[in-house]
């Protein structure tokens, strides 16, 4: 299996929504949701070609999310690690504090275009939920956010944001009480209400159209990064692009514009949480949330429970698009433990004025591991995709402080 050059990775599926000769993706959806999902697919294909819609999206990205996020060299960390140049694409500087802002905004715009007044989404870390609540408020939509009760408790600051923005937070107390159950419950709600409700899936997962909308929205990150690299270096230098992976939306956005480059030129490195790492541990392919994907399963083939200190990474599945990138060897996947992520937070926040959330702290951990083995001409860019305020309590409990 080879990736097609010049074709956006999101479009490299067959007519049934499968990638990689039928191995990943597809549309395993309830019969009753088939028609609304088909309608949404047609609407999205129309909108992504519409100049008027693209202008509206760009207007919101600029004036509501704050425009281009910063890209800068981390001189202190580079000097301390003594190898590769370390650069940061600070997506956490967006008005919304995480890449989920792109995806939430686009979903709210699509919901408006569809004529629906209700929007439903899932959230783990609360970053997608918060951004969906804010976008819904801005566009006068009524939002329901499904969230596991364990996550409601560990990501309380974001729950407060959602409620203050007027969204209904629906607690999900089944199963592991985390993201996997929140997604299931949100999808159940959609199946019963699909005539009036737009479903905004919180990562690049789900039936084909949902992961396409998500990865299309976050690809703004790599469009910006490409321009910024050319501004800084005059060309695309030899790069390693390091990104954390939960469902995979942040990485797909960070990598989208670079997938056609040779991997010796632009290496793509995904970092999962140690006990929620289907890609890095060569897990089985299973069907979860409407799509076939690398997924952690138990001995009986049932979806396995995961563990991560990070609510955004505590998920057993992975985007079908990451399955494709893994099987074609275009990206490589590795993992970081809770402890490694916490240590990375300590070092990065000590040396630099950055306060990554627990999710990108995993990406920083891989950067810290590999940078000393590389040369000064090597350029590492880490996507710092979320702000740490939501994890302040967890950081204090585990490392004893949260820096100013």
Ligand X SMILES: Cc1ncc(COP(=O)(O)O)c(C=O)c1O
**Which residues bind to ligand X, rule: CB under 6 A?**
98, 100, 124-125, 127-128, 203, 244-250, 312-313, 357, 359-360, 385-386
Q: Which is nearer to ligand X, 107 or 357 (CB)?
A: 357
**What are the φ and ψ backbone dihedral angles of 83, each rounded to 5 degrees?**
-135, -110
**What is the spatial distance between Cα 308 and Cα 179, in angstroms, rounded to a whole number?**
11
- Helix and strand numbers (H, E) in the chain are 15, 14
Q: Which is nearer to ligand X, 10 or 194 (CB)?
A: 10
Q: Which is nearer to ligand X, 40 or 361 (CB)?
A: 361
Contacts of 145 (CB under 8 A, 6+ apart): 120, 121, 122, 123, 129, 132, 133, 162, 167, 168, 169, 170
Q: Which is nearer to ligand X, 148 or 248 (CB)?
A: 248
**What is the spatial distance between Cα 161 and Cα 10, in angstroms, rounded to a whole number?**
31
Q: Which is nearer to ligand X, 26 or 206 (CB)?
A: 206
**Cβ 243 to ligand X, closest distance in Å?**
8
Inter-CA distances, 263 with 222, 242, 259, 363, Å? 16, 13, 8, 19
**Cβ 247 to ligand X, closest distance in Å?**
4
Burial of 235 (0-12, 13-18, 19+ CB in 10 A): exposed
**Cβ 277 to ligand X, closest distance in Å?**
12
Q: Which helix (H) or strand (E) holds 168?
A: strand 168-172
Q: Is 131 helix (H, G, I), strand (E, B) or coil?
A: helix
| Alpha helical stretches, state H, 85-219 | 100-114, 127-138, 149-154, 156-164, 179-193, 208-218
**Cβ 141 to ligand X, closest distance in Å?**
21
Single out the residue of 315, 312, 313, 320 nearest to residue 287, CA to CA.
320
N-to-C CA span, the chain: 49
Q: Which is nearer to ligand X, 323 or 386 (CB)?
A: 386
Q: Which is nearer to ligand X, 185 or 359 (CB)?
A: 359
Q: Which is nearer to ligand X, 120 or 245 (CB)?
A: 245
Give the Cα-Cα-Cα angle 159, 162, 163 (nearest 5 degrees). 90
The C-alpha R_g of the chain, in whole angstroms, comes to 19
Single out the residue of 245, 278, 276, 239 nearest to residue 259, CA to CA.
239
**Cβ 217 to ligand X, closest distance in Å?**
11
**Cβ 65 to ligand X, closest distance in Å?**
15
**Cβ 313 to ligand X, closest distance in Å?**
6
Strands 331-336 and 197-200, bridge-based pairing:
unpaired
Inter-CA distances, 62 with 69, 101, 158, 286, Å? 10, 12, 23, 39
**What is the spatial distance between Cα 222 and Cα 399, in angstroms, rounded to a whole number?**
33
- The residue with its CB nearest to ligand X is 386
DSSP-assigned beta bridge partners for residue 287: 292
**Cβ 215 to ligand X, closest distance in Å?**
10
Q: Which is nearer to ligand X, 280 or 374 (CB)?
A: 280
Q: Which is nearer to ligand X, 116 or 390 (CB)?
A: 390
**Cβ 235 to ligand X, closest distance in Å?**
28
**Cβ 200 to ligand X, closest distance in Å?**
13
**Cβ 145 to ligand X, closest distance in Å?**
12
Q: Which is nearer to ligand X, 157 or 372 (CB)?
A: 157
């Amino acid at each position: 299996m080879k990736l097609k050059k010049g074709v956006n990775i999101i479009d490299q599926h067959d007519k049934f929504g499968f990638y990689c000769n039928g191995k990943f993706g597809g549309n395993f959806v309830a019969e009753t949701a088939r028609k609304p999902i088909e309608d949404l697919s047609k609407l999205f294909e129309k909108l992504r070609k519409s100049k008027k819609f693209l202008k509206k999206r760009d207007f919101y990205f600029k004036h509501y999310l704050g425009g281009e996020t910063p890209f800068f060299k981390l001189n202190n960390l580079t000097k301390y690690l003594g190898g590769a140049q370390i650069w940061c694409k600070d997506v956490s500087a967006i008005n919304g504090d995480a890449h989920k802002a792109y995806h939430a905004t686009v979903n709210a715009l699509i919901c408006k275009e569809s004529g629906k007044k209700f929007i439903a989404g899932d959230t783990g870390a609360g970053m997608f939920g918060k951004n969906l609540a804010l976008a819904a408020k801005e566009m006068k939509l009524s939002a329901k956010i499904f969230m596991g009760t364990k996550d409601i408790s560990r990501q309380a600051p974001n729950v407060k944001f959602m409620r203050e923005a007027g969204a209904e937070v629906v607690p999900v107390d089944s199963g592991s009480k985390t993201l996997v159950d929140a997604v299931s419950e949100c999808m159940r709600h959609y199946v019963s209400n699909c005539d009036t409700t737009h479903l905004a899936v919180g990562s690049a997962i789900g039936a084909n159209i949902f992961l396409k909308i998500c990865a299309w929205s976050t690809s703004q990150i790599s469009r910006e990064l490409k321009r910024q690299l050319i501004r800084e270096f005059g060309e695309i230098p030899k790069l390693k692009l390091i990104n954390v992976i939960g469902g995979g939306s942040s990485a797909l956005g960070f990598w989208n514009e670079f997938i056609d480059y040779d991997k010796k030129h632009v290496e793509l490195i995904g970092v999962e949480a140690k006990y929620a790492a289907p890609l890095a541990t060569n897990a089985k392919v299973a069907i979860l949330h409407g799509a076939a994907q690398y997924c952690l399963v138990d001995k009986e083939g049932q979806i396995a429970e995961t563990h991560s200190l990070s609510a955004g990474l505590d998920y057993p599945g992975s985007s079908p698009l990451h399955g494709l990138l893994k099987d074609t060897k275009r990206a490589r996947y590795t993992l970081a433990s809770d402890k490694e992520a916490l240590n990375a937070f300590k070092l990065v926040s000590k040396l630099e004025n950055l306060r990554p959330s627990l999710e990108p702290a995993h990406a920083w951990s891989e950067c810290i591991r590999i940078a000393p083995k590389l040369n000064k001409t090597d350029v590492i860019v880490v996507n710092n995709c979320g702000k740490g305020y939501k994890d302040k309590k967890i950081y204090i409990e585990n490392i004893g402080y949260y820096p100013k």
